[in-house]
Chains A and B, each alone.
Chain A
């Protein structure tokens, strides 16, 4: 018989085992308390990371409209083609089939299809035609995913102004970049639970946060005015074989940009086909020597400072005058003429004499007051401040040179804004592009069929005066009025820009023919010019300010003969389009006069010569409606 253990042995073993079990149990308990009680957040987070998958849902980018409600930029769904290489039996044959459709080298395609990955993009955001063609082939392992892509229905029209958005729907240039945060909206999230294999358990709606659609932008630009500007710019570039050009049309009263055309052309739908230099909006980024158009500022300053009277006679020295150590010339020798004729005939000598009366400090301060040397604050990225040197850095000749538009760099936008100062009675306005930013909606975008049902009457620039943004008063209303009369003579038979006239309308403006610096010699080139004309119409009650710049036209590139006719052609069509009646018309007021009187036009409520109720805004002198009665 086996020997039975003694009770004491049994007891000690029992205590040992029990103690070990208790200790083990206690350790488990302590660990449990630690995990559940003190570290629960951390472990919960880890578990969620393991089991849940957050899928971000891109918000739909907001739509961009022009002032008439035409769509300028919109997001559309386009197919992207992908491959599951593991599901493709014969990659070589598939690559040969797809290469001609996708226009990708068959070898590159084969490399992708031979990959061991379970998913590869073959080409993203392809056209529906390509997708249809590939779909017809019914290739196993090839599929499509719909992705959102930015589309510009007006193609190259507004190209530089709108800029473009990249593959990830982020704005990269122009308005798209400046208002990217507003346009982009807020991402949505879909939280899905997945199993041990990573497969989604609840593919839809486990936890869904809808994306917020981006805000819609309503711009101040107008499709018709933009088209007319671009068309006329193309015509003159073709005719003169010029290198490029710029046209800006703006409302002088509010600073609203109605069109901004830049050449070389840029189509934001085909960014890859353009050089980065072609994306650049030269109207705001590039500086140029404006030449005689800057005499508007010299003359305004001289009148404001009362250093000259409009009818004062000035000796223009028959075309040659020694000043500042050099001889300056006029393009047309003239003798003693009035100050008006000095401006009208664009006499360099007369202007130089006036500038001497003004002096360096005063001329420099007026240049700055008119907005040169500072960013005007347009709602676009990359605006240049221009090049205006401090008078302390000026040479002996600088005063004269700057007075006639040399030794100074300005942007086309600054020049248009400066001319608008004279047009609106002395106020420098902030040029701007945004008329309204509208809130985006949650969920999918449902575009209303009647979204564009804007009456024809509202297609003209009718904005509330609240959109006008004043920077400062630069010259008095009296000086501005006198300058309008003087600039009106520029477009007369005795002036330099008879061809800039618009039949039936009064025009005021100034020509500019600036020699370009030859980079080889560092001197002014004898045959490379920037021809320009800046003006406004109708002169007494301007509706639009138009700047035309033609870069390096062939032959004699006088501003009056090259840019002047472009101003005339654009001005004529724009004024007709805006239903501004010609002065010669016997009829009363334009049809939309009542709208203007209701406050739909900037500063229109004030009668002739009376300031608006807002002292920080220029008062539109007369409503369009009264023009016909003059």
Chain B
């Protein structure tokens, strides 16, 4: 007896039929081959078994993926922690290197710089730097492409140094 089992998605649509057979030799496209209820039971058992197998495989695959992703997350976390640690170390190093004491020592001993004298300092009225529309005198509306009102003090000093006919470096040597 033919042991052909068909799982159909439509009895007439033979093309869409999936055949699962064990030594199937005959294939009758017109109907179910084999003996009635017995075959139905076997069909269900096999379908169930297949589904369990697929689910088990999916579960295993998912579990495997979870472990794999977990490892990846852990690795990235470690990388992140290492980067944060490195960033912090660099930050601390930068803080140590930017200590005023060190900067002054380098400026005086290595670069032969001297503190600026009172007469080398020029104070400018901030109101003069603002545009007249903002209540200022509008003397200097823009320096170096930035709104003068937001300029740090040293930028303005540099500007005045140039106006006085000397670069900041030249003024330092005076």
Q: A456-B152, A590-B123 are in contact. Are A70 and B92 (CB under 8 A)?
A: no
Is B84 within 8 A of A445, CB to CB?
yes
A588/B128 contact (C-beta < 8 A), A153-B96, A227-B101 known: yes
Chain A: minimal CB distance from B87 (Å)? 7
Contact A224–B123 (Cβ < 8 Å): no
Partner among A71, A444, A585, A593 whose Cβ is within 8 Å of the Cβ of B126: A593
Q: How far is the CB of A318 from chain B (nearest CB, A)?
A: 41
CB contact between B121 and one of A573, A576, A594, A625 (< 8 Å): that residue: A576
Other-chain residue from A447, A457, A581, A628 in contact with B87 (beta carbon distance below 8 A) = A447
Q: Which of B84, B92, B96, B115 contacts A446 (CB 8 A)?
A: B84
Contact residue among A71, A223, A444 (Cβ-Cβ distance under 8 Å from B84): A444
Contacting residues, chain B, for A157 (C-beta < 8 A): 99-101
In the assembled complex, how far is the CB of residue A227 from the closest CB belonging to chain B, in whole angstroms? 4
Known contacts A444-B81, A456-B153, A153 near B127 by CB under 8 Å: no
For chain B, residues 99 to 128, give those with C-beta under 8 angstroms from any C-beta of chain A: 99-101, 104, 115-116, 118, 121-128
Question: Using a CB-CB cutoff of 8 Å, which residues 82-117 of chain A contact chain B?
Answer: none
Does B4 sit at the interface, judged by CB under 8 A?
A: no
- Find out whether the CB atom of B95 lies under 8 angstroms from the CB atom of A70: yes
Question: Are A588 and B124 in contact, with the CB atoms below 8 A?
Answer: yes
Contact between B91 and A591, CB atoms less than 8 A apart = no
A377 to B115, CA, bound (A): 38
Measured CB to CB, the nearest residue on chain B to A586 is B123
**Neighbouring B residues of A164 by C-beta, 8 Å:** none
Min CB gap B52→A, angstroms: 28
Question: What B residues does A573 contact at CB under 8 A?
Answer: 115
A387 to B91, CA, bound (A): 45
The complex places the Cα of A74 from the Cα of B89 at a distance, in Å, of: 10
A153 near B92 with CB under 8 A, answer: yes
Name A564-623 residues within 8 Å CB distance of B.
573, 576, 579, 581-582, 585, 587-594
Query: What residues of chain A have their CB less than 8 Å away from a CB belonging to chain B?
Result: 70-71, 74, 76-77, 146, 151, 153-155, 157, 204, 223-224, 227, 231, 444-447, 455-457, 503-504, 573, 576, 579, 581-582, 585, 587-594, 625, 628
10 contacts between A and B (CB under 8 A): A77-B85, A151-B92, A155-B99, A455-B150, A585-B123, A588-B123, A588-B125, A591-B156, A592-B126, A593-B126
Q: Considering the complex of A and B, which 4 residue pairs feature the smallest CB-CB distances, nearest first?
A: A588-B125, A153-B95, A456-B152, A581-B123
Could you tell me which B residues sit within 8 Å of A by CB distance? Answer: 74, 80-81, 84-85, 87-89, 91-92, 95-96, 98-101, 104, 115-116, 118, 121-130, 149-150, 152-154, 156
